[in-house]
Amino acid sequence: MSSTSSAAAIFPGLVPELLVTDLEASLAFWVGLCGFDVLYDRPAERFAYLQLGSAQLMLEQVGVSRNWVTGALEAPLGRGVNFQISVPAIEPVVERLAHAGWPLFMAPETTWYETGPTRSGVSQFLVQDPDGYLLRLTTPHGVRA
């Protein structure tokens, strides 16, 4: 798979690298269903660098290249963390997931979170990728007093 984005990449200060059991299955989910683009990849190493808006992450298949593993990898992976990803609208992603028969971890909702003296509104839902990593896709609705 080659790069699908011709724009020069701007790398944020934090980019998670997720170890996955099957890179092709992960790419089908992250790119095909969630809408990420592949900025670049290293097929021989089973590695891909992805971007959606300003969100970036790396996927690397376990056991192919040098993996930095600190303990046993037991499904579901990523327990204790969810990755919040801002998208222009959650509805198209929810529709693609539903069409693919992909289950949601939490149904779409609109909620307002306290953020100091204000409240920030979001539409959001949660879904797990093929390895169990938990994603929270959100669309902001602004701030109110």
Read out DSSP for 90-133?
SHHHHHHHHHTTPPPSEEEEEEEEEETTEEEEEEEEEEE-TT--
Q: Report yes or no on 103 lying in a domain.
A: yes
pLDDT per position as a tens digit, 42-79: 999 999 999 999 999 999 999 887 778 888 889 999 99
pLDDT of residue 6: 43
pLDDT of residue 3: 47
| Res. 4: pLDDT tops 80 | no
Q: Report yes or no on 133 lying in a domain.
A: yes
- The domain total for the chain is 1
| Res. 1: pLDDT tops 70 | no
Answering whether pTM is above 0.85, one says yes
Report which of residues 133 and 3 the model is more confident about.
133
pLDDT of residue 69: 82
Provide CB contacts within 8 A for 113, sequence distance 6+: 119, 120, 121, 122
Q: Report yes or no on 71 lying in a domain.
A: no
Q: Report yes or no on 11 lying in a domain.
A: no
Domain range for 114: 17-65+76-144
CATH (domain of 42): 3.10.180.10
| Nearest alpha-carbon partner for 31 in 17, 49, 13 | 49
Q: Report yes or no on 121 lying in a domain.
A: yes
Across all residues in the chain, what is the average pLDDT?
A: 92
Q: Residue with structure tokens 């204790």?
A: 80
